[in-house]
Amino acid sequence: MSLPPHALTGVLLAGGRGLRMDGRDKGLVAVAGRPMAAWVLERLSPQVERVLISANRNGPAYAAFGHPVVGDAITGHAGPLAGLSAALAHTDTPWVITCPCDCPRPPQDLVARLEAARRRTGAPAAVAHDGTRLQPLFALLASALHPDLQEHLRRGGRRAGDWFLAQGAVVADFSDHPRAFDNINTEADRRRLEAVLRDPPASATDLSQMPREDPPAIRQGPSPTHPRA
């Protein structure tokens, strides 16, 4: 039985500093005529009951997307886990799913596949693997893990992949859609993905189903690719 949407809160992680984009707020950067956050929300919202946006600046701009905005309780830009912790403090659903704001086209079946992987083992969390590396900011987790996350942050822990695996998270295979996890860290990344979104190849109109240029080779262990959007 699939996890029903009413059991889920989606968390858009948009609290980063955008250092590789000259400090721009990446969730609000336009790609193919729309803010990056809008692309992600279009895919995430139908899969969940409600959405929370984790953001530490430009609150009114994010609120305009129609979802509550929460800021980190920890000062100093403590990373995506701090944003997740802030969101967990404001949710009343038993499960939460996270997406970073700088991946414009997350899988439309993200929840279903993460939940299927989690359910097979009874794990309290599941994280995506794109066939090459772990993608720990695409994660499904039990809200009951919040106290453990708070303690991890209190001790100075910051790496999302390390924390999820320490919780016994199961890895969900998304190697058939590796391009769904392409993220935008630089202006060159933005231009490249904008070209794809404006004029997708006839054989792959959905970015999440486009093959990666380099063949995936499984690499073990957490290798986060999203320094906080």
Query: Which DSSP string corresponds to 51-96?
Result: EEEE-SS-HHHHHTTSS-EE--SSSS---HHHHHHHHHTT--SSEE
Q: Quick check: 150 and 85 in contact, CB under 8 A?
A: yes
CA distances to 98, 148, 174 from 95, rounded to whole Å, are 10, 15, 20
Bridge partners, residue 99, by sequence:
12
- If we measure between CA atoms, which residue out of 93, 88, 75, 91 comes closest to residue 147? 88
The verdict on whether residue 72 carries a ligand-binding annotation is yes
The verdict on whether residue 15 carries a ligand-binding annotation is yes
Q: Which residues sit in the known binding site? A: 13-15, 26, 72, 102
Q: Which residues sit in the known binding site for Mg(2+)? A: 102
Q: Which residues sit in the known binding site for GTP? A: 13-15, 26, 72, 102
